[in-house]
Copies of this chain bind each other. A is one copy, B any other.
Amino acid sequence: MSDPLVLFMPSGKRGRFAKGTSVLDAARSLGVYVESVCGGRATCGRCQIEVQEGNFAKHKIVSSLDHISPKGPKEERYERVRGLPASRRLSCSATIEGDLVIDVPQDVVINAQVVRKKASDRVIDRDAAVHLRYVEVDEPDMHKPLGDLDRMKAALARDWGYDRLDVDFALVPQVQAILRAGKWAVTAAIHKDREDGPATIVGLWPGLKNEAFGIACDIGSTTIAMHLVSLLSGRIAASSGAQNPQIRFGEDLMSRVSYVMMNPDGREAMTGAVRQAINGLIDKVCAEAGAERTDILDMVFVGNPVMHHLFLGIDPTELGGAPFALAASGALSLKAAEIGIDANPGARVYVLPCIAGHVGADAAAATLSEGPYRQDAMMLLVDVGTNAEIVLGNKTRTVACSSPTGPAFEGAEISGGQRAAPGAIERVRIDPVTLEPRYRVIGVEPWSDEPGFAEAAGSTGVTGICGSGIIEVIAEMYLAGIISEDGVVDGSLAARSPRIVENGRTFSYVVKEGAPRIAITQNDVRAIQLAKAALYAGVKLLMQKQGVDHVDTIRFAGAFGSFIDPKYAMVLGLIPDCELSEVKAVGNAAGDGALMALLNRGHRREIEDTVRRIEKIETALEPDFQALFVAAMAIPNKLDPFPKLSAEVTLPPRKILTDAEGGGGRRGGRRGR
């Protein structure tokens, strides 16, 4: 009779194992990741699994609780002392006695207080670079005068298979006391970034230490976003964000580079500011999760090239002009202490690679998160800031570029523009007959023409118009015929509506009278045209490189992408034609990518390899770019024209339309007109 068949879910990996094999050993031999700190002593509880009962005919397995060993004394002790859900077993103690379907739960929670919420629905296969390893160390013996450290290394080799272990020197003077405090039982944190690379003891605690955390952090020009994550369960224990304090040195990236060029201490000041903010955020997430700073053992940081350089203490001046030379483009590994980040003294830092001088580690992280290179469909991934970082690709080939959109999409350089904040107009509709606008303001529930608007807006008032509002108002102006395809405000309409007003030699459209008066000037339209032309020309250039005339899916990363309506983005000609259902805002994809690299070191190699393979297109060197840019100035544009969409759709605030809600995308729109 053959050995029992065991199927692990959700991975679907399967194999036959001799009766009496522990479920943990079986999982490991198949490469199914099951955490364990105590090394099979049934004390850490990290290796919990569930047995699925039933006849899994498709897999030819009948799985039953009778096919797993009954709880032994060690497992019963764990259950008594620590508690174990009825359906759960410790895989280090439970042995295979017949065919089994084993479920590896994603939520093995030991210290419940640290698990509060989740930042993302993504389930990330775990294979962290730092592991906790409990060992019982031989006591000193005059017959075998190996040192404390050396006996501990021998125990780690014996129980966990580490052949050659380095040790952070700072721990060496502490080993004696920790071993004695733990009565010769200790938990070592071992950092091993590569399967074939060196392993290093980076932390040490007496007795069993059963939790360790990591930090995933996206350093944006405007905001810094951070997750505190259990390296053992993969659960997000706390998330927080803060404004990037470098804003006081300059709003956008180039003004910060200029600040460094103009001020001898500028680089140092900005480096200090961002590190201080990050330390403040670490305080915050630790307090929220009830974790200690010294529990943080691994960190992943991403950011655009200027943020990347300033955070690491590198002068970003070279990024301010051609050839836009990065000081370091590859992934970097360092210690948190080397850059003044306050965590465990042995905590490691991994920084994702940058793709090019204007396409940073944040774009690399978003690429890792969305994975164009993992799929057959041709995916367009766009992150719009002062520069648009654009990635286009599929399994076969991935290309990337950045395009100088300028800050117009962020509300800068627009007469009534402002950041997305309470008081900002975020949605606009224009009646194509009366040309009267109605709008919606951040923080205010009713639209401007609905009852209760004035009361609701009362205290803050209406202060300006933010990026998504600008996109919408200009698209609506076009749909209402106020501006032509060339973006000229039609002055003749001043006769028909008081909303059209003369403004020197051109005309403006008044969205709101009073103080402040908010109008879209001809210059504002031109600014948005320039920005969208830059974005579109960049996208089109990459499409040319790929030899495709359409994309299968579009992913908008970042804050801008979360708030704009993809329909209006298409009306304006920001993005190429695509099934509306395939256009998605993915939020902080860079942060998600950082999280993936934190929880699975394989993702580090994956993005390093991917970045090496990505073809980097420098728009400034492309002879076609200028022509594409000029052609993309028109609305929608002259490159990829598509029928106008109906504007008669009321969009819910800050939510991307699904097909069903929005009327089926482009084709639906055509029918609706």
Residues of chain A at the chain B interface (Cβ within 8 Å): 140-150, 153, 166, 169-170, 172-173, 175-177, 197-198, 312-315, 318, 322-330, 332-335, 338-339, 354-357, 616, 618, 620-621
Contact = CB atoms under 8 A, between A and B. Distances in A.
With most chain B CB atoms within 10 A of its CB, the pick from A142, A197, A318, A330 is A142
A170 B338 contact: yes
Given A149-B328, A328-B150, A173 B314 contact: yes
28 contacts: A140-B324, A140-B325, A142-B323, A142-B324, A142-B357, A142-B621, A143-B621, A145-B323, A145-B616, A146-B329, A147-B326, A147-B327, A148-B325, A148-B327, A149-B327, A150-B328, A150-B329, A153-B330, A169-B338, A170-B338, A172-B314, A172-B328, A172-B332, A173-B314, A173-B327, A176-B315, A176-B327, A198-B198
Nearest to A166: B333
B354 A147 contact: yes
In order of increasing CB-CB distance, the 8 nearest A-B pairs are A147-B329, A140-B325, A147-B326, A145-B356, A169-B334, A149-B328, A147-B328, A140-B323
Total copies of the chain: 2
A266 to B, nearest CB: 14
B330 A172 contact: no
Contacts of A318: 140, 176
Contacts of A621: 142-143
A256 to B, nearest CB: 16
B173 A315 contact: yes
Contact of A312 (B173, B322, B327, B335): B173
A176 B314 contact: yes
A245 to B, nearest CB: 20
B618 A142 contact: yes
Nearest to A144: B616
A613 to B, nearest CB: 13
Nearest to A620: B142
Central interface residue in A147, A323, A334, A618, by most chain B CB within 10 Å: A147
Contacts of A322: 142
B312 A618 contact: no
A330 B169 contact: no
A29 B328 CA distance: 34
Given A144-B616, A150-B330, A173-B314, 13 more contacts: A140-B324, A141-B323, A142-B322, A145-B329, A145-B355, A145-B357, A147-B329, A148-B325, A153-B330, A169-B339, A172-B314, A173-B315, A176-B314
B618 A145 contact: yes
A324 B145 contact: yes
A153 B326 CA distance: 14
Contacts of A335: 169
A271 to B, nearest CB: 9
Contacts of A620: 142
Contact of A169 (B149, B198, B332, B356): B332
Contacts of A314: 172-173, 176
